[in-house]
Structure 1
Amino acid sequence: MSTANSLDATFDLAAGDRPPLALIAGPTASGKSDCAVALAQELERRGRRAVIVNADSSQVYADLTVLSARPTREDMGGIEHRLFGAWDGAQACSAADWTRAARETIAEIHGEGAVPILVGGTGLYIRTLLEGIAPVPPIDPQVREAVRALPVEEAYAALLIEDPERAARLAPADSTRVARALEVVRSSGHSLAYWQARTTGGIGHGVTLFPAILLPERQALYARCDLRFQRMIERGAMDEVEALLARGLDPDLPVMRAIGVPELAGVAADSWSLDEAITRGAQATRNYAKRQYTWLRHQPPKDWPRIEFQNFYNIDINIILLRNLWLT
C-alpha cells in the first residue's frame, strides 16, 4: 500500500493507496474556516479539487446559521462545503452520528479523486473519526437515571471506588464526564477505558493525514470571540433564536444548548436585557474557546503541527499553514 506524500499528489484507490486527508483544527474564532478555504483554493490552483468537510458540532445544525458562524456563500470562496447544516435541530447529532456521515462523505470525496479538508474544533468528533467508536453497550435507563440524580460530589466519590483510573483523569466538578464514566461501569460492568481500547471503525489507518492546529495567542483569540458574538447579534442571531423557540423543541437538545441560544432565549423571556445577553454570550464563547485550546494543545499526537501566532493582523497565517502542509 502506497501513501500520498503530499496533498496535491495523485492517488489510486484501486491500487490500495492511502488517500490524503487534510485536517485544520482550532478553537472557535481562530480563523480555521478561512484557512481551509485558502488551502482548498491553493490545491485547485495546482489542479487538485478539494472539498471542505465540517467537523464542528454546532455548524451541523440547519437551525444555527448565525450562531454557529456557518460560512456564507461568499465565505466559501467557490469551494464545495459538506456536512454544514446537515441536521435538523430536532435531531441530536452525536459523535457517532457525525462520524458515520463524515466517513461516508470522505469516502465519496476520495472516490471523486478530490481531497477532503476536515475543518472544526470539536475534538470528540475528530478523535472518533480517526480512532473509531468505543462499542459501549446501551446504558440501562434505571442506572442512567440514578447516576444523573447524584450530586457531582457523590458521583465522583463513587467513581473513585468503582473506576479509580478514570476518576484520576477527571476534574471532580466535571459533572458530565463523571456521570458518563460512572454509568458505563455500573451498567456494563466494565470501565470506559475497557471499551475505548476496543474502538472500531476509525479511518486513521486508511488515510494519509495532513493535520494542522491553529493556536493563536489567547488574549487576541478572546478579543475575536467578543467581536464575533457582537457581530452575530448584528446579523440576526435574535431572530434565529426566536425561530428556534417557536418550534417548541426539547430544551435538552444540543441545538437548544448551543452558545448564544440560552443567552438570547433569556431576552425573549424578559429575564435579562440584550446587553446582558451579549455579555453572557461573549463570556460563554471565551470559555468554550479556552476548553478547545487546552484540548487541542495537549490531546492530539505530538507530531501534529501546532501553528502558534501572536495576532491576526501582522502575520499571514495561510502562508504558515501551507508551509506546514508542505505546499510552499
Structure 2
Amino acid sequence: MNEGQVSRSHVGKAVLIAGPTASGKSALALELALTTGGVVINADSMQVYHDLRIITARPTGAEEARVPHRLYGHVDAAVNFSAGAWVNDAAKALEEARAEGRLPIFIGGTGLYFKALTAGLSVVPPIPTEIRDDVRARLERNGVEALHAELAARDPRAAERLNLRDRTRIARALEVIEATGRSLLDWHQEGEPPLLPKDSFRAVFLAPERDELYARIDARFDAMLGAGALKEVERLAARSLAPLLPAMKAHGVPALIRHLRGEISLDEAATVGRADTRHYAKRQFTWFRHQLPEFEWVKLGEARGWLAASVKSARDAG
C-alpha cells in the first residue's frame, strides 16, 4: 500500500472537521489529506457558490491543486441551494472517494450539513414557488417580527424554537406549514438515513479561545478585502439577484453592497462584516454543542495531536 493513501479496507470510514469560521479547519483538512491521500469534501453552505471564492475564504487554486477537493464553487449564486441538494452531492462525492480508495474528509462550519450527514435529513415536499414568493414578500414588507407572529399562530411549536431574528428559518417554517399543513418539526421526524452511520467516522470540532478566534476573524476579513473581496462582491451585485438568496447573505456581502451603493463607507462596511462574522461564530459554538454531541472538541493547540491520532487510526485500520 502506498504510504500516502489509506487502504481500501478503510474507505468506509470518514473524518469530519468542523468549527467556527476562521478556526483553522482548512489547514488541518489539507494536512490530513496530504498525509493520508484523502479527498477534501466541502461542508460549508457558502463555499459551494462559484461567485464567492474570496469573501468566503474558499481554498485557493494552489491548495486545490495539492489534493483533490470536492463541492467547492460548483453552484451558481442564483440558485437557492438547500441542505437536501448538498446531501445528494455529498453522497456522490463519498461514493467517488470510496471507489478511489481515498479517505473522505468533510470540512466546514455548516451544522445542518453535518447533522444531515450523520443523522439523516427530513424529506419535505417541494414548496410551490407562489407560496415561497408570497412568504418572502411578506417578510420584506412586514418584517421578521410580523412573520414570526404569523408562524406562532400557525405553528407555535416551531415558532418557540426559532430565534426571533432568524429570517431564513422563520420564513422556511412558515412556507412548510402553509404548503403542507404540517409542522416542519413533524417532517424532521421522517427522513432519509444518514450517509455516515454511527461508528463510521471520527469527528472533531475546533474550538479556539474566543478572543483568539475573534482576532483571527478580524484579520482574515481585512485580508479578504486586500485580496479583492470588494471587486468580487461588486460583480455579484451587478447580477441584481434576489436579496434573500443565500449567496446574497454571505457574511460581509450585504455590508459591502451597501458600501458600493454609497450608503456607508468601506470602513463601516468592514466593521459590520467583521461583527456579523463574529456573531455567526458564536452561534456555531452553540449549535454544535447542542446538536452534534458526537463531535470531539479540541483547542487549536491540540489539533495536531488529534490529526496524528486520526492518521494512525486510518493506517491501523488498513
What TM bracket, shorter-length normalisation? 0.7 to 0.9
2:110 matched to 1:122? yes
1:5-42, Cα deviation, whole Å (9 max, x unpaired): xxx76345xxxx88011100011000000010111122
Q: Which range moves more in the overlay, 212-221 or 183-192?
A: 183-192
Whether the 8 Å CA contact 1:51–1:80 is kept in 2: the answer is: yes
Q: Which range moves more in the overlay, 34-43 or 159-168?
A: 159-168
Within 2, Cα distance between the matches of 1:325 and 1:167?
A: 44
| Equivalent residue number for residue 7 of structure 2 | 10
User: TM-score scaled to structure 1, two decimals?
Assistant: 0.83
Within 2, Cα distance between the matches of 1:36 and 1:257?
A: 26
1:152-192, Cα deviation, whole Å (9 max, x unpaired): 44544454454343333223443432332233233322221
Amino acid across the alignment from 1:252: L
2:244 matched to 1:252? yes
How do residues 276-291 of structure 1 correspond to structure 2 at under 5 angstroms?
276-291=268-283
| Equivalent residue number for residue 187 of structure 1 | 179
Whether the 8 Å CA contact 1:263–1:281 is kept in 2: the answer is: yes
| Equivalent residue number for residue 126 of structure 2 | 138
Within 1, Cα distance between the matches of 2:242 and 2:164?
A: 28
1:251-298, Cα deviation, whole Å (9 max, x unpaired): 332222212222222222221211111111111111111111211222
Within 2, Cα distance between the matches of 1:101 and 1:109?
A: 12
Offset of residue 213 of structure 1: 0.7
How do residues 234-313 of structure 1 correspond to structure 2 at under 5 angstroms?
234-300=226-292, 302-309=293-300
| Equivalent residue number for residue 309 of structure 2 | 323
| Equivalent residue number for residue 312 of structure 1 | none
How do residues 192-203 of structure 1 correspond to structure 2 at under 5 angstroms?
192-203=184-195
Classify the secondary structure of the residue corresponding to 2:182: coil
The alignment of Structure 1 onto Structure 2 pairs a total of residues equal to 307
Classify the secondary structure of the residue corresponding to 2:299: strand
How do residues 167-186 of structure 1 correspond to structure 2 at under 5 angstroms?
167-186=159-178
Within 1, Cα distance between the matches of 2:245 and 2:166?
A: 20
Within 2, Cα distance between the matches of 1:238 and 1:151?
A: 28
Within 2, Cα distance between the matches of 1:261 and 1:134?
A: 30
Whether the 8 Å CA contact 1:37–1:77 is kept in 2: the answer is: no
Amino acid across the alignment from 1:213: F
Offset of residue 67 of structure 1: 0.5
Whether the 8 Å CA contact 1:34–1:75 is kept in 2: the answer is: no
Change (3 A) 1:112 1:207: farther
Kindly report the root-mean-square deviation, in angstroms, between the aligned alpha carbons of the 2 structures.
Answer: 2.7
Offset of residue 324 of structure 1: 6.2
Whether the 8 Å CA contact 2:6–2:101 is kept in 1: the answer is: no
Alignment counterpart, residue 213 of structure 2, candidates 206, 221, 230: 221
Whether the 8 Å CA contact 1:212–1:324 is kept in 2: the answer is: no
Identity of aligned residues (%): 42
Whether the 8 Å CA contact 2:87–2:117 is kept in 1: the answer is: yes
Within 2, Cα distance between the matches of 1:276 and 1:236?
A: 17
Q: Which runs of 5+ in 1 are unaligned?
A: 1-7, 44-48, 310-314
Offset of residue 325 of structure 1: 6.9
Question: Whose RCO is larger (CA < 8 A, sep 6+)?
Answer: 2
Within 2, Cα distance between the matches of 1:103 and 1:236?
A: 33
| Equivalent residue number for residue 26 of structure 1 | 19
Classify the secondary structure of the residue corresponding to 1:204: coil
Whether the 8 Å CA contact 2:35–2:311 is kept in 1: the answer is: no
| Equivalent residue number for residue 78 of structure 1 | 66
Higher helix share: 2
Within 2, Cα distance between the matches of 1:243 and 1:259?
A: 16
| Equivalent residue number for residue 97 of structure 1 | 85
Within 1, Cα distance between the matches of 2:303 and 2:103?
A: 21
| Equivalent residue number for residue 31 of structure 2 | 38
Within 2, Cα distance between the matches of 1:265 and 1:172?
A: 25
1:198-225, Cα deviation, whole Å (9 max, x unpaired): 1115312387111111111111111111
Amino acid across the alignment from 2:304: N
